[in-house]
A and B are shown apart, each in its own frame.
Chain A
Amino acid sequence: MLRLEKRPQPSAFWTYATPVVAVILTMVLGGILFWFLGKPPVTAIKTIFWDPLFGDFAFYYRPELLKKAAPLILIAIGLSFGFRAGIWNIGAEGQYIMGAIFGASVALAFYPMEARWLIFPLMIAAGIAGGVIWAMIPALLRVYFKTNEILVSLMLVYVADVLIKAFSVGLLRNPDGNGFPGSRNLKQYPSAANLDLWTDTGIHWGVVTAVFAVVVAYVFFARHQFGFNVRLAGQSPRAAAFAGVNPNRLVLVCMALSGGLAGVAGMFEVAGPSGQILGSFPAFYGFTAIIVAFLGRLHPVGILLAGLLMALTYIGGDAAQSAMNLPSAAIQMFQGMLLFSLLSVDVLTNYRIRLTTAKVA
């Protein structure tokens, strides 16, 4: 009989090996799924994971990869603080949308004034503020009313979704848009546009900020008292309390961090790759970032790599949709499977599998 035996320490080898094993496992399971759908499995996996990087059209896909990875990494870095401390902000998608609405509103308020030195920084501040405000609702409710932050933050995703749809046809609609839904395109407004810093590299301010966030988070976790407190609170709330960590302040700070980063990610997205406040703006990044955070083992460098990989599944998924007529939902399911296999393989990190012969206990 197979039996699980708890390791005294998490295995160092498996800590690094499990994400790799999980990705391979997902490719195999995904291949079986595609085969089941009547698609050639090997071609499907190659279209998703290989062609965007090394295929004939890689020159087009590679910049896209950075654009898609930036919001995922930004949001996931923010979430990793809360997740390590046992604070479950599941509503990053809502904070991301609110950041976009706040950021775009600032830009649209100044339109058509040209003053990039003023408007762009203000937009960044507004994006952060939008995300933080949206994240403070569940945080304050948890601190003062002991309300479950998972449910509240999630309910607010639906509210934010309704809001952006309403604004795109109401308050923020382009007055010169011939009645079409959607705001003015910020990409055509030089003071607000978040374009590639170097043409066709895909590197915009959001990408720069994401790399910066990874470095700062790394320093925080490795060298700073705050990072230590977060880890301590997650592993042993009692020990953290004795060490003088204020649990309420930790909730507020962690939620503000994740909300702010999600908000700024939304602002960079609406000013750049997306360009508009539109009903179709929400792209599920806030939820995918949860997978990124776990796949990256809540470690900044891991999140960087996991963000790039998940961005690849987005782009490869798009490519597979047009090339192989795969349904768009397949990629979402694929991402769910990735999280499933990651969590399952993780058992090897904390437990040893022992073969035992049945005997009377």
Chain B
Amino acid sequence: MDINPVFLLAAVIVASTPILLAAIGELVVERSGVLNLGVEGMMITGAVCGYIAGHQSGSALVGFAGAAAGGAAVAALFGLLTLGLLTNQVATGLALTLFGVGLAAMAGQGYVAPNPVSVPKLPIPGLSDIPALGHIFFNHDGMVYLSIALVVAVWWFLERSRGGLILRAIGENHEAAHALGYNVRRVRFAAILFGGACAGLGGAYISLVRVPQWIDNITAGAGWIALAIVVFAGWKPWRLVAGAYLFGGVTALQLNIQASGLAIPVEYLSMSPYIATIIVLAALSGGRAPGSLGKIFHASR
């Protein structure tokens, strides 16, 4: 079997979407100065919530809404602990991942889906008829377009709006922002909720579109790759797209090579996305982290 470049590139976009969704959420969280290492946990919670909500209702829309709510709910737990009880963000994020993976496995265990869910393709009229390019870029489901729209919206919010300026100020120096009268904890909590909802959507995209069924540990490290991409992108939305598509590309390519039966052992192909992440992180991570990233904020007097 040959590898068709048009289908491959279309598959790259599908494979990248969950990572891109989770990463754009985490980017906002980190720009506000919070390091949430629980992306994997929020993603898998979103995956199971989306799967159950979608299959109970038979509607993909309800599924994704449920996923966003589920991701935001566990993110709220993270927010309460790190912002309210001033816990260590690294350790709390890890706890969130352990908790989320366990929660999802438990909720998904033995769940029998009563209704089928289909996520329809929404070809963009006109554009999708362009040969090759039309199929690659303009013949996808709504979530793919949403992920791109979110990147644009986040870019606009961070770079062009007053709210984004406040959020960035808090991320760079929370003491100074506090002294100026901004409510550090409220902004950060909102950012954390947004990050959780995005991770949840990314997870549901895996369980409703990419796989699409429930298997244990379904996200398989996608959340961690999303975290890596934020570092790789230097906390800039546009570079995030490049990063996510690069990793989606490695994933899709190795799946295609597996299917095409080339004489490369499957194991070595399936570890390639993780190896690629390490190489890219070591070689290319540029950019400066937000000044207050990961630091505990306590408004003392």
Interface of A toward B, CB cutoff 8 Å: 4-6, 37, 88, 90, 137, 141, 145-148, 150-152, 154-156, 158-159, 162-163, 165-166, 170, 287, 290-291, 294, 327-337, 339-340, 343-344, 346-347, 350-351
Q: Which residues of B contact A156 (CB under 8 A)?
A: 274, 278
Pick from A6, A141, A343: contact of B92, CB under 8 Å:
A343
Check A151–B228 contact: CB distance below 8 A. yes
A-B contact pairs, 17 of them (CB 8 A): A88-B90, A137-B278, A148-B285, A152-B281, A155-B225, A156-B274, A159-B271, A162-B271, A287-B98, A291-B98, A331-B102, A332-B101, A336-B96, A337-B99, A339-B94, A339-B99, A340-B99
B233–chain A nearest beta-carbon distance, Å: 13
Let me know if B161 is at the binding interface, CB within 8 A.
no
Let me know if B210 is at the binding interface, CB within 8 A.
no
Interface of B toward A, CB cutoff 8 Å: 37, 77, 81, 85-88, 90-92, 94-106, 109-110, 216, 220-221, 224-225, 227-228, 231, 265, 267-268, 270-271, 274-275, 277-278, 281-283, 285, 298, 300
Check B85–A343 contact: CB distance below 8 A. yes
Apart from A141-B282, A333-B103, A340-B99, list 12 A-B contacts with CB within 8 A. A4-B298, A147-B285, A148-B231, A152-B281, A158-B271, A166-B267, A290-B94, A329-B103, A329-B109, A333-B99, A343-B91, A346-B87
Pick from A146, A159, A337: contact of B274, CB under 8 Å:
A159
Pick from A88, A151, A346, A351: contact of B277, CB under 8 Å:
A151
9 smallest beta-carbon distances between A and B, as pairs:
A336-B99, A333-B102, A329-B105, A332-B102, A166-B267, A336-B98, A339-B95, A343-B87, A155-B274
Q: Bound state CA distance, A43 and B207, in angstroms? A: 35
Q: Looking across the interface, which residue of chain B has its beta carbon closest to that of A345?
A: B85
Q: Bound state CA distance, A70 and B96, in angstroms? A: 25
Known contacts: A163-B267, A166-B265, A344-B81. The answer to whether A151 contacts B231 by CB under 8 A is yes
Check B94–A145 contact: CB distance below 8 A. no
Q: Which residues of B contact A90 (CB under 8 A)?
A: 94
Question: Tally of A-B residue pairs with Cβ under 8 A?
Answer: 140
Q: Bound state CA distance, A339 and B92, in angstroms? A: 8
User: Which secondary structure characterizes the binding site on chain B?
Assistant: helix
Check A343–B81 contact: CB distance below 8 A. yes
Q: Which residues of B contact A346 (CB under 8 A)?
A: 85, 87
Pick from B77, B85, B267, B278: contact of A347, CB under 8 Å:
B85
Pick from B85, B104, B281, B283: contact of A151, CB under 8 Å:
B281
B256–chain A nearest beta-carbon distance, Å: 18
Check A152–B271 contact: CB distance below 8 A. no
Q: Which residues of B contact A351 (CB under 8 A)?
A: 86, 298
Q: Which residues of A contact B277 (CB under 8 A)?
A: 151, 155
Check B271–A145 contact: CB distance below 8 A. no
Q: Which residues of B contact A145 (CB under 8 A)?
A: 282-283, 285
Q: Bound state CA distance, A344 and B82, in angstroms? A: 9
Pick from B81, B268, B281: contact of A147, CB under 8 Å:
B281
Q: Bound state CA distance, A334 and B231, in angstroms? A: 31
Q: Bound state CA distance, A340 and B278, in angstroms? A: 29
Check B274–A158 contact: CB distance below 8 A. yes
Q: Which residues of A contact B106 (CB under 8 A)?
A: 37, 327, 329-330, 333
Check B99–A155 contact: CB distance below 8 A. no
Q: Which residues of B contact A330 (CB under 8 A)?
A: 102, 106
Check B228–A155 contact: CB distance below 8 A. yes
Check B227–A163 contact: CB distance below 8 A. no
Q: Which residues of B contact A334 (CB under 8 A)?
A: 102
A251–chain B nearest beta-carbon distance, Å: 15
Q: Bound state CA distance, A43 and B101, in angstroms? A: 25
Q: Bound state CA distance, A5 and B103, in angstroms? A: 34
Q: Bound state CA distance, A333 and B44, in angstroms? A: 13
Q: Which residues of A contact B87 (CB under 8 A)?
A: 343-344, 346-347
A295–chain B nearest beta-carbon distance, Å: 11
B225–chain A nearest beta-carbon distance, Å: 8
Check A336–B102 contact: CB distance below 8 A. yes
Check B224–A340 contact: CB distance below 8 A. no
Q: Bound state CA distance, A4 and B300, in angstroms? A: 9
Q: Which residues of A contact B271 (CB under 8 A)?
A: 158-159, 162-163
B36–chain A nearest beta-carbon distance, Å: 12
Q: Which residues of B contact A151 (CB under 8 A)?
A: 224, 227-228, 231, 277-278, 281
Q: Which residues of B contact A291 (CB under 8 A)?
A: 95, 98
Check A332–B98 contact: CB distance below 8 A. yes
Q: Which residues of A contact B105 (CB under 8 A)?
A: 327-329, 332
Most buried by A among B81, B220, B267, B268: B267
Check A4–B86 contact: CB distance below 8 A. yes
Q: Looking across the interface, which residue of chain A has its beta carbon closest to that of B281?
A: A147
Most buried by B among A141, A166, A343, A351: A343
Check A155–B224 contact: CB distance below 8 A. yes
Q: Which residues of A contact B285 (CB under 8 A)?
A: 145-148
Q: Bound state CA distance, A170 and B281, in angstroms? A: 31
Q: Looking across the interface, which residue of chain B has its beta carbon closest to that of A290?
A: B94
Q: Bound state CA distance, A5 and B106, in angstroms? A: 39
Q: Looking across the interface, which residue of chain B has its beta carbon closest to that of A138?
A: B278
Q: Looking across the interface, which residue of chain B has its beta carbon closest to that of A140?
A: B282
Q: Bound state CA distance, A340 and B84, in angstroms? A: 13
Q: Which residues of A contact B102 (CB under 8 A)?
A: 329-336
Pick from B86, B216, B220: contact of A158, CB under 8 Å:
B220
Q: Looking across the interface, which residue of chain A has its beta carbon closest to that of B107?
A: A329
